[in-house]
Structure 1
Amino acid sequence: MIISFFFLLFSSFINAQDSIPSAVDTNEANNFIFQQHFFKALSEKAIFNYKNAIESLEKCNEVIPNNTAVLFELSKNYEKLGRNPEALNYIDLALNNESSNLWMLEHKVTILRKLADFDKAILTQQKIAETHPKKKQLLVFLHLQNKNVEAAKKVLAELKEAKLLNARLRKIEERLTASKANTTSQPQPKETEANLDAKSLFEKEKSYISLKMLLEKLAVENDADLLKYSEQGLSLFPAQPFVYLMNGKALNNNKKYKKALESLQNGIDFVIDNNEIEAKFYLEMSTAYLGLNDVKKSNSYKDKATKLLK
């Protein structure tokens, strides 16, 4: 199944390039060698041997240089290894050959998010949205990660007008509206806070740092106020995954499993290249599904968490 899928993918890239068919026609031996290395690369990638896949792809590149499918696969394998600058270089080379390819553009956005280059990620996603309007939804998350709440609100308004708001975005819209009253800047406390407890400190300055300290303390102590302060945090800091994680945990503690899943699913979209926190999301999702008596999904998310932490 995997090889068949990639054969179709490979064929589509070959057919899209005028230079390749002529090369294949004039040198069948090279074409045969190229295909051997290409499918070897796909096989290695399928069993997570990304370095071996890259070696095979580099051999492909020696036989037939600048092939779009090879460049795309090189980018994907480097991204899997966490070598995102190399991954970005190869996807840019691939896009030079085929600038409007949806799969490649979406892959580029993934890499740019991991590099925290949200400005370029936004520009790329805007290009995608020009021909795929529903994919404009990701721009909301990208603007929030770029700490541009007003731009996120503008996109939400456009999506609402186009009737493209999904349940997650409606919830984010509600939180952004609720946070309007809290956007006034808070004066920095001049006196020492050494004698203030975590709740007092957060109430005093409303900063993310003080909120994180408070939520961590409440979670350890299993304090009922975890729900109250995590809800406040969602309004104040709608792009911070840790706040969604704590809110999901609080909702699970209160046996509100469906709401917990909703919050966790919203928050995981903000997790970028952080296996530890992603695994924590999956563990809370596992708890929520167990509470809903869906043992199969509960075990599935627990397995996902285990694999991430290996």
Structure 2
Amino acid sequence: MKHKFHILILILGMLYIPQTTYAQVDFNQKPTDDLGNVEDQFQEHFFEALKQQGIENYQRAIDELLKCKKLDDKPVIYFELGKNYNKLKNFGAAEEALKKAVSKEPDNEWFLDELYEVYNQQGDTKKAIKTVQQLVKYHPDYRQDLASLYIKSKDYKSALKLLDELDKEFGISADRDYLRNQVYNITGRDEDRIENLVERLNKNPENETNYLTLIYRYSETGETEKAFEIAQKLLKVQPDSKLVHLALYKFYLNKNETENAIASMKTALLAPEINVDAKTKVLNDFIIFVSKHPEYEKDLIDITAMVDGNKSFQTLVELAQYYLKVEDKEKALMYFEESLKLEPNNFAVIKDVLLLQIDLNQDEKAIAKSQQALDLFPAQPILYLIKGVAHNKLKQGKKAIESLETGLDYIIDDPKMQADFYVQLSVAYKLTNNNSKSETFAKKAAALTKQN
């Protein structure tokens, strides 16, 4: 979490030193120096540098700052030089300039912050840590940056110690939990992770998140009984919890407690606080369950009706595949068509829809749909084949021939599909009373089939 304090007024404050010394002035005496002129030149070059930096002309800004340096060796000049060198990825020059600025004002946090940025850009973790350790004195928020740097440098002990201190001081944070889990994942310290989560739960047993996180981690490590135990504890503490059912239904399914599993699924699918992605996973799991236990199909129908307006593309496809498996082609087609409303250009689903339309004798629809698909995928031979089949079924031989002969040109190394085309061309030519060509294509089809 970087803090930038590049405020023009403050920079200008570094430039001007109040002149509080007054003396008797002899107006008849000629000036003995040109200090006023020097100050004017310095200001002119400095403001030009800021202007050039503002329009991202960093080299011009550097040129102007170097002119300033010749006139007055102020710390702010090195600071601004460092910033511009950093923008140009000239990290060596940036580091040198900023270290000079820091040497002149060791406690200036803006100088340290920019130096930290240079080390960050270079990936110099060791120097970045040293700089952030100085910055922490001024802004405690840098401690999270420091924890992240400790992880990069593989100093996991220091990282966890610092994260513990921050959690104790400020409470649990998702960002810090991400860093903490990085350490546990890298080191494989699952026991420490669980211990930390159990400690959190014991300290705050009313917090739903503590239960859910522990359930997830127990499940991840294969300790399903412990996960189930924590889920049941959560239900006792918070009987109205909906999120716990995202875990409970799986436990119930594994224990063959089907009625409880179905009840948990319904609870999860109807809960407004559970997001669509999680609901999709629940529904997909239930579809898989019902495909193995078809006696619960009525429950599947009830559940899908409950979430009718919230089904994802993947859920609709899963439902279609389920109904295909149980040979309910009408329902399979219905769900495939619903899924296409969400992803109208999904070629795999378009193909499934067309094949089902052919199977269900919806030939006019298959012709219209295949033509729409060809506008999107003009080099897909299967679309020409399906269109040709539909025309043949409607006794439209000439239209079938046109589609099939066009599609043949797009077949590459697929003898089986080529044989299918020849079969349909044989049918089409027979419809047009061209028996000679019909027989020719029939023989070609048979020869390809025999070879394969």
Structure-1 residue corresponding to 2:78: 71
Structure-2 residue corresponding to 1:137: 144
Aligned residue runs from structure 1 range 230-309, under 5 A: none
Structure-2 residue corresponding to 1:56: 64
CA contact 2:62–2:81 (8 Å) conserved in 1? yes
Rounded Cα–Cα distance in structure 2 between residues aligned with 1:164 and 1:106: 26
**1:125 counterpart = 2:132:** yes
**1:109 counterpart = 2:98:** no
Among 98, 118, 121, which residue is 1:91 paired with? Answer: 98
CA contact 2:78–2:97 (8 Å) conserved in 1? yes
CA deviation after TM superposition for structure 1 residue 17, in Å: 10
Structure-1 residue corresponding to 2:49: 41
Among 149, 153, 160, which residue is 2:160 paired with? Answer: 153
Rounded Cα–Cα distance in structure 2 between residues aligned with 1:152 and 1:175: 10
CA deviation after TM superposition for structure 1 residue 8, in Å: 1.0
Q: Partner letter of residue 63 of structure 2?
A: E
Q: Provide closer, same or farther for how the CA distance between residues 93 and 150 of structure 1 changes in structure 2, counting only shifts above 3 A.
A: same
**1:9 counterpart = 2:10:** yes
CA deviation after TM superposition for structure 1 residue 128, in Å: 1.1
Q: Partner letter of residue 115 of structure 2?
A: K
CA contact 1:134–1:164 (8 Å) conserved in 2? no
Rounded Cα–Cα distance in structure 1 between residues aligned with 2:160 and 2:177: 11
Q: Provide closer, same or farther for how the CA distance between residues 154 and 256 of structure 1 changes in structure 2, counting only shifts above 3 A.
A: farther
Structure-1 residue corresponding to 2:299: none
CA deviation after TM superposition for structure 1 residue 255, in Å: 8.1
Among 159, 165, 174, which residue is 1:167 paired with? Answer: 174
Q: Provide closer, same or farther for how the CA distance between residues 124 and 7 of structure 1 changes in structure 2, counting only shifts above 3 A.
A: closer
Q: Tell me the alpha carbon deviations over residues 205-250 of structure 1, each in whole angstroms, 9 at most, x when there is no partner.
A: xxxxxxxxxxxxxxxxxxxxxxxxxxxxxxxxxxxxxxxxxxxxxx
Rounded Cα–Cα distance in structure 1 between residues aligned with 2:71 and 2:44: 11
CA contact 1:156–1:165 (8 Å) conserved in 2? no
Number of equivalences:
177
Among 15, 32, 35, which residue is 2:40 paired with? Answer: 32
Q: Partner letter of residue 111 of structure 1?
A: V
CA contact 2:151–2:183 (8 Å) conserved in 1? no
Q: Provide closer, same or farther for how the CA distance between residues 156 and 9 of structure 1 changes in structure 2, counting only shifts above 3 A.
A: same
Rounded Cα–Cα distance in structure 2 between residues aligned with 1:29 and 1:105: 33
Q: Partner letter of residue 10 of structure 1?
A: I
Rounded Cα–Cα distance in structure 2 between residues aligned with 1:99 and 1:17: 22
CA deviation after TM superposition for structure 1 residue 171, in Å: 2.4
Q: Partner letter of residue 174 of structure 2?
A: A
Q: Partner letter of residue 75 of structure 1?
A: G
Among 160, 163, 184, which residue is 1:177 paired with? Answer: 184
CA deviation after TM superposition for structure 1 residue 16, in Å: 7.2
Q: Partner letter of residue 118 of structure 1?
A: T
Structure-1 residue corresponding to 2:441: none
CA contact 2:109–2:138 (8 Å) conserved in 1? no
Q: Provide closer, same or farther for how the CA distance between residues 136 and 256 of structure 1 changes in structure 2, counting only shifts above 3 A.
A: farther
Structure-2 residue corresponding to 1:100: 107
Structure-2 residue corresponding to 1:284: none
Q: Tell me the alpha carbon deviations over residues 127-185 of structure 1, each in whole angstroms, 9 at most, x when there is no partner.
A: 111232222110011112223222221211121122265421122223433554369xx
Q: Partner letter of residue 34 of structure 1?
A: F
Runs of 5+ unmatched residues, structure 2: 1-5, 20-32, 191-274, 279-452
**1:80 counterpart = 2:105:** no
CA contact 1:6–1:42 (8 Å) conserved in 2? no
CA deviation after TM superposition for structure 1 residue 36, in Å: 0.4
Aligned-pair identity (%): 28
Rounded Cα–Cα distance in structure 1 between residues aligned with 2:159 and 2:34: 53
Rounded Cα–Cα distance in structure 2 between residues aligned with 1:54 and 1:119: 28
